[in-house]
Amino acid sequence: MMLLIALPSFAQTDKREVRRGNRKFDKHNYKEAELDYRRALVKDSTSFAAIYDLASALYKQKDYDGAGSVLARREEAPPMTVDGAKYFFNAGDIALQKKDYATAMKTFRQVLLIDPGDLEAKENYIYAKKMLENQQQNQDQQDQNQQNQNQQDQQQPQDQNQPQDQQDQKDQDQQQQPQDQKISPQQAQQMLQAIQAKEKETQDKVEKAKALKAQSRQKEKNW
């Protein structure tokens, strides 16, 4: 599909400046033609031919914003004729260059209302509709990706805090465990002496019991 559809020069008036501009336009001298069309608009600011042809010259120079601004001067009242169809077609072509697919669909629809048999307008309308759908799908995908990224960003701080939470729990568990009691060397000596005294006391009792038993046996033998 040819998207860069040329905007043909055309005039509704025999104004000298417009005719001069058309001759230069046909020779691809678009900048010089632009100047002639502007001179024509100085004399008649409502000239549909001068407005149309000036937009064509700007379009050829790839000044799409300027071409669109010029066409907007007659946006409210383009004629519902072949000339009006050309106006809407060019407005739609400018919208395609600017990737304003919604506007392109609107203007090519206007062309088809005037001339339902315009095959190029139909093709461009279908193309603009498809590109608008793709544009909307891409935007929805970007919005979904951004939403997923935001959710990940919200979860990330919690994940970063998890090791610290585990360390805090570990410290708490260690605090709850009984601590080993440490004793001084003096306390250890006292405990050792007490054990030794207890053992000596036990040994003395055993020796005393043995002696009493030996005496009892001796008496029994003598008797």
Query: Do the domain assignments include residue 164?
Result: no
Residue 24 shares a structural domain with residue 132: yes
* Separation of alpha carbons 94 and 78, rounded Å: 16
Measuring CA to CA, how many Å separate 193 from each of 127, 186, 206?
106, 11, 20
Query: Do the domain assignments include residue 197?
Result: yes
Residue 30 has pLDDT above 90, yes or no: yes
Per-residue b or e along 81-97, where b marks 16 or more CB atoms closer than 10 Å to that residue's CB:
eebbbbbbbbbbbbbbb
Q: What is the number of structural domains in the chain?
A: 2
Q: What is the per-residue pLDDT across 110-151, written as a single tens digit (0 to 9) for each? A: 889 988 999 999 999 999 999 999 988 988 888 888 888 888
Q: What is the per-residue pLDDT across 33-79, written as a single tens digit (0 to 9) for each? A: 999 999 998 888 878 788 888 988 999 999 999 988 888 876 655 56
Q: What is the per-residue pLDDT across 107-121, written as a single tens digit (0 to 9) for each? A: 899 889 988 999 999
End-of-domain residue from the set 120, 136, 152: 136
Query: Do the domain assignments include residue 58?
Result: yes
End-of-domain residue from the set 96, 112, 136: 136
Return phi, psi of residue 110, to 5°.
-65, -40
Supply the range of the domain harboring residue 206: 188-217
Residue 37 shares a structural domain with residue 108: yes
* Separation of alpha carbons 13 and 151, rounded Å: 64
Residue 132 shares a structural domain with residue 46: yes
Could you tell me the CATH number of the domain that includes residue 84? 1.25.40.10
Residue 122 shares a structural domain with residue 192: no
Query: Do the domain assignments include residue 46?
Result: yes
Residue 20 shares a structural domain with residue 130: yes
Reported as a pLDDT band with limits 50, 70 and 90, residue 31 is very high
Residue 192 shares a structural domain with residue 95: no
End-of-domain residue from the set 99, 117, 136: 136
Residue 29 shares a structural domain with residue 89: yes
Query: Do the domain assignments include residue 180?
Result: no
Query: Do the domain assignments include residue 181?
Result: no
Length of the chain in residues, anyone?
Answer: 223
